[in-house]
Chain A
Amino acid sequence: MKKTFLALVLSAAMFCALLSGCGSGEPPAAGPELSVGIAQDLDSLDPHKMVAAGTKEIMFNVFEGLVKPSPSGDLLPALAENWTVSDDRLTYTFNLRPDVKFHNGSIVTSADAVYSLERLSATADTPADIVTVDAFSNIASMETPDEMTLILRLKEPSNEFLSYLTAAVIPAGYEEQETMPVGTGPFRFVSRTAQESVVLERFDDYWGGPAAIKTVTCRVIENADGILMSLQSGAVDLFAHLTITQAQQLTDDFRIEQGAMNLVQALYLNNAVEPFNDLRVRQALCYAVDKQAVIDLAFDGFGFPIGSSMYPAFGKYFDETLIDYYPHDIQRAKELLAEAGYPDGFSMTITVPSNYQPHLDTAQVLVEQLKEIGVNAEILPVEWETWLNDAYIGRNFESTVIGVDASTMTARALLERFTSSAGNNFINYNHEDYDRLFTEAQSCTDDDEQTALYRAMERNLTENAANVYIQDMADLLAVRNNLTGVRFYPIYVLDLYGLRWES
């Protein structure tokens, strides 16, 4: 009896000693290493195949195009040192920056640029998983008079063509992008472990000078509960896209930087199904939803209300007057419902991808708000894959809360999808005026005129209550106090280049 007991006490004591022997949780000192938390694993390493916003966000540091976006939304010279545009605006001549190296050591030439642009143009034998750029179908021909000069001739003039040239330039003929990506960015790819981490290392030959941080480990932390713990425990130094609840729980080791998500979050309505095929019903929902209350309740006041498919970072395209086009007005909403033949309201479903907590939170608040006009909404949480397959591709849903982003910094990227023939017009929006405006905007050569046309398209969406627009969500980024140099962009990227540890 005594012996067993003694053995037990001893083993318990040893166990405790073993556990306490590992006090390694000190916050890292200023140094060349950085650990970044990312909420989802990369979907592909090939820059021309990646789809997920979270992937492009990180690989922004590995790949560059002829031009690259700046934090203010302008286009800066990148691999192209400068360029000229002919008077008829059909010929672009790029002078490549000399002696720019790929991560594998070879020099970037005009042939690499041609290879990359061709790879992204849709032809009959383009592999199905290459994310082709439709705007490149406007290219009539490409010429390379010498290794450092690239001439692009367009079929039609376009104001937006340049912004598509942010597309990654990769070495011609290199086939291993999917496993060992090679680009020209300030960081080069080292290794990735599925569902675990992606390791990047500073590229010392970067044309803009080497970055301050030497090694960046991106840790995949998909479990929302793990995010906070990973920050608190010291596993991660920087984490973007936190929820306000998470941000508020952080201790003094961190500061929160606030930017915008650059997403159009809305209750997207399937315009082709009853009762949402009735304009009055859609308008009633717009009146019933109190955007500010959604932002206050689910996001603690962080977020920017919007009134159409455009967010503030787009500057001149963004029309502020649309934000309050539908003020919160229960009475008006009820009247409209009665006119439409639903005096007692109706039942509807809100399909939400269950892996996106902010959208789920928003939907929960919407359900409560819609109750007030007698609309009985039910949340239908689905897996992301099911959402893509049934709601997005199959267009088989009544309404859904989701954030729609822009792949390039053009108004077209946000607005084209609502033309009646667009393949990704998942809400089945169908309005003649809208289609006509879009066609006009495409053929328009004057920038101001084109901006006016895009703004008219936005107004069209609002007036016809295409969707119940809610907000551009706030992007809260937690950084360790002595890490500086965070820059926000109008698109969804995390720029590691300017980051440095202060001692």
Chain B
Amino acid sequence: MRRNYYLFAGLLLTGVLAAFALLGVFWTPYDGAAMGAEKFLPPSPAHLFGTDNFGRDIFSRVMEGAGTSFLIALCTIAIGAGGGILLGAVTGYFGGLADEALIRVGDALTAFPSILLALVVISLLGPGKPVNLVLSLGLVFIPSFARVTRAAYAEAREANYVKSVRLMGASHARVMLVHILPNTMPVLLSALTIGFNNAVLAEASMSYLGIGVTPPDASLGYMLSEAQSVFGRAPWYALSTGGVMISFLFGVGLIGEGLRFREGGPAL
């Protein structure tokens, strides 16, 4: 039973941080873009995380940046999981030539380190626009979801329960949606949590390389790269931004850990 505490703790941590980011959309202690205060103030009650090189309140910027990061990660996963599950389910279930082709292309794409692929795609679409960032990352995440789903569906295709519902006259679409999908849930959920964390990290890496989010938009990744250049002067900038990012990834990781247990992961 101990493991359900992971789920609980993970949900709590993620929930608090998500609420914090959501709140940032409507209200922040200061205007995150306003350059009013003194530069490089250390953390204090007035500025919880201090101020940055423009005299902007870091706490407010983290609230806004967290929102941007999570939104980008969510959209990325929506595209990646949506496309990947559809593709994987159809090819895995029907098999044949399309299946064979998908495996090949999937292999080729996973051979590309995700960053490399995203770099090329975003150069193609034009960097600097959040929509393009989400699109390129989303595309990059399709193969991994397709691969997981395909494996589950290919296995299910041969399973007795699928054969029997087919004999009872269920349509392919119904079998795929109603009968197989729920059975793949444990695998998919854990793929989702891992994918989500990878998406946050990928966005951060891209922004770090200067081809992700760019000002005046702030994401945690972009802020981290900004914070890096002032680390000697204002270490709290990097530490608070990094801290929030790590906490969030940690929370989602715990949810994944808890889910795996609940859904019958390795029994102890």
Contact = CB atoms under 8 A, between A and B. Distances in A.
Asked if chains A and B come from one complex, the reply is: yes
Interface of A: 224-225, 227-228, 232, 245-246, 248-249, 297-298, 300, 354-355, 360-361, 363-365, 367-368, 379-383, 386
Given A225-B228, A245-B230, A368-B33, A379 B214 contact: yes
A382 B127 contact: yes
Interface in B109-130: 123, 126-128
Contact of A245 (B33, B53, B123): B53
Interface residues on chain B, size class: 20 to 34
Contacts of B54: 297-298, 361, 364-365
Contacts of A225: 225, 228-229, 231
B216 interface: yes
11 contacts: A225-B225, A245-B233, A249-B232, A298-B54, A363-B215, A364-B216, A365-B35, A368-B34, A382-B126, A382-B128, A383-B127
Contact of B232 (A232, A297, A360): A232
Interface in B124-164: 126-128
Contacts of B232: 228, 232, 249
B243 interface: no
A211 to B, nearest CB: 33
B15 interface: no
Nearest to A357: B229
B233 A354 contact: no
B53 to A, nearest CB: 5
A225 to B, nearest CB: 4
Interface of B: prevailing SS? loop
Contact of B35 (A224, A368, A380, A382): A368
B265 interface: no
B210 interface: yes
A86 B210 CA distance: 56
A254 B22 CA distance: 45
Given A354-B127, A360-B214, 12 more contacts: A225-B225, A225-B228, A245-B53, A245-B229, A246-B229, A249-B233, A297-B55, A298-B54, A364-B216, A365-B35, A367-B216, A383-B128
Interface string B21-40: 00000000000011100010
A429 to B, nearest CB: 27
A427 B232 CA distance: 40
B58 to A, nearest CB: 15
Contacts of B216: 364, 367, 379
A228 B128 contact: no
B35 A249 contact: no
A248 B232 CA distance: 9
Nearest to B129: A380
Closest 3 CB pairs of A and B: A381-B214, A249-B232, A225-B228
Given A298-B54, A354-B127, A368-B33, A381 B215 contact: yes
